[in-house]
Chains A and B, each alone.
Chain A
Amino acid sequence: MSDVLRLEKIDDFRWRIPMDYKPGMRVPGVIYADERLLRDIREDKALEQVANVAFLPGIVNASLAMPDIHWGYGFPIGGVAVTDPAKGGVISPAGVGFDINCGVRMLRTDLAYEDIKHKLKDLVYALFSGIPSGVGSKGDIRVGLKEEEEILVKGARWAVEKGFGTQDDLDCTEENGAMQGADPAAVSSRAYQRGRAQSGTLGSGNHFLEIQVIDKLYDLKICDALNLNQGQITLMIHSGSRGLGYQVCEDYTRSMVQCLKKYDINIPDRQLACAPVNSDEGMAYLSAMKCAANYAWANRQCLMHLTRNIFEKVLNSSWQKMGMSLIYDVAHNIAKIERHIVDGENRELCVHRKGATRAIPAGHLDLPQKYMGIGQPVIIPGDMGRNSYLLAADESAEETFFSCCHGAGRLKSRSVASRTINADTLLKELESQGIIVKASGQSTIAEEAPQAYKDVNDVVKVVHSARIARRVCRMRPLGVIKG
């Protein structure tokens, strides 16, 4: 299908799917990419999905796609869709995904590569054994039903109150680590059951914990403000809401499939099932989704706490002395009610970010005071062999409703990667580049190979050039723990 799609070039980094591509599209599609990335994007059905999302009732301006876009199941991964509840705008669980508030956090340290190079293996092995990972993994943090409900409301604050972090961590987390309006009663007992004992666990697939080193500085002013230097050790943690989030998405997709008839909604893919934001079904989903999002923030807070403890043990120092503070934590699978200016009017909108990161610029009221002058840190993990980036929201982010890409984006399917990449050879290659990898499943190594992903450098070049978010610094991996 995509090869017959005629894309209109807006500029070197923006392309349009015209509204007449499919009858029923309410807005055009806009893809942020350069010609090189576009060639890969055209290989699968992601552009069709961008067009399908443009059918959603109440969608505002355009169905947006970031340069890491790839084929998902309903929404493309790397998609942003904004709807206006006052004009019948809908909310769709598929615009968030099964792993609600899958996201990433980045920590800085005062450690230099030289300080840890002889301890790197010890750190990777200690992190691998100390942090539960893999399919259905369970953690040591066990709570009863009452406390689980508390996690769903308080999010990362629950973990901080338990002693697993500080107020500063919450200040540096999107939504301060908890969305308001989470209603535990909107979460099914099956979801509780499915998520039980998974707090403080990494999960599987593309979830990871990485020890990285800064290898390039771009924006010296922001690097200074964040106290970041070349050769400095940083950490990234990528995880989500685990089984609880999957079940919330499933429960509400099931109910919203019924809403299509009830609200007379015509969409080309039933997986885009949705309901008006202001309907009972829409509000119930939003309340449950917030619970799962809060659970994910608590989870990443617990994971960071475990990481700090392990660094303390291996390096025989306190995390405070090692300067292991949180730079920021961002969600990249989420729907949020936000205020944006559209056609000169300040409107309350529902922003779906499916594989996309919020990126609010300097001066925005939702920023913590310390980032008011530099804009929100935007964290872009790459693959385990190349680079990851720290960006800061830029002036043109307004056109994407303050949204940016979320990673490199997959290029090859898991099955093709498994068939064509030998895990042992890959591990040796990575080791020769100074990268130590430990994974729960051998199949994960081949599936998550660098060749299976786009080059994050190309992806970031687009958002930087389109002035959505500017490059601050680049990291390369040293130690990788995969689920």
Chain B
Amino acid sequence: MTIKYEIIDHTADIGLKIIGSDLKELFENSGLSLFQISSRKQFTKDKKHISVVIKQKSENIEELFINWLNELLSLSAARELIFHHIKVNKINETGLEAICQGSSINNYKVNIEIKAATYHNLSIKNNEKGWEARVILDV
């Protein structure tokens, strides 16, 4: 699946620019981009697909965005899953509900360890084409 993101330069870490036609797609693309930049599927050692429901509530869209990305990274590390399919079912600027499907990390070659998404230089904008977010990840 091709999703819409590009890497922006940052001296120590990784910057990402992500776009989406609406807020739902922006959050889905942002979530998937974490795993697309860090891992590549190489094996099928474990055929199981595991679905996880993520619910987040925050004060504003910036916090929702950062909490969402960090919840994905944290769950991925704790449950040893790489998420390959994300469906955001409900979203507004202060809350979301999503179903994320992942398979075992053992099926992937993971090249980069993303520690977290950060607020530094974070921007989330809405224009006539849709939504665009810029975020710096600590690697």
B78 proximity list for chain A (CB < 8 A): 190, 193-194, 243
Interface residues of B in 106-124 (CB under 8 A from A): 109-113, 115-116, 118-122
Tell me if A72 and B13 are in contact (CB < 8 A): yes
Report chain A residues within 8 Å CB of B111: 135, 441-444
A99 contacts the other chain (CB 8 A): yes
| Cα distance, A249 to B119, chains bound together (Å) | 13
Determine whether the beta carbon of A135 is less than 8 Å from that of B13.
Answer: no
Query: In the complex, which residues of chain B have a beta carbon less than 8 angstroms from the beta carbon of A416?
Result: 9
Distance between Cα atoms of A257 and B59 in the complex (Å): 10
**Which residues on A sit within 8 Å (CB–CB) of B121?**
45
Nearest neighbor of A43 in chain B, beta-carbon distance: B11
Q: Are A254 and B11 in contact (CB under 8 A)?
A: no
A103 nearest CB across to chain B (Å): 16
A136 lies within 8 A of B77 (CB): yes
Within 8 A of B (CB), among A129-150: 134-136
> What total count of A-B pairs have CB within 8 Å?
100
Interface residues of B, count at CB 8 A: 33
A247-B74 in contact (CB<8A): yes
CB contact under 8 A between A194 and B77, given known A257-B63, A443-B112: yes
* Contact code string A364-387 (vs B, CB < 8 Å = 1, else 0): 000000000000000000000000
B10 x A136 contact (CB < 8 A): no
Chain A residues with CB below 8 A from B38, complex form: 135
Q: Does B50 contact A (CB under 8 A)?
A: no
Contact residues of A between 224 and 256, Cβ < 8 Å to B: 243, 246-247, 249-250, 253-254
Stretch of A176-184, A323-331, A405-413, A456-464 lying at the B interface: A405-413
Q: Which residues of B contact A194 (CB under 8 A)?
A: 74, 77-78
B67 proximal to A (CB < 8 A): yes
Q: Which of A104-153 contact B (CB under 8 A)?
A: 134-136
User: Are the C-beta atoms of A271 and B11 separated by less than 8 Å?
Assistant: no
CA distance in complex: A283, B59 (Å): 24
Please, could you name 21 A-B residue pairs with CB atoms under 8 Å apart, sorted by A?
A71-B11, A72-B120, A73-B12, A73-B13, A73-B120, A74-B118, A74-B120, A134-B110, A135-B112, A135-B113, A136-B80, A205-B113, A246-B116, A254-B67, A258-B59, A269-B120, A271-B120, A410-B12, A413-B12, A441-B112, A443-B112
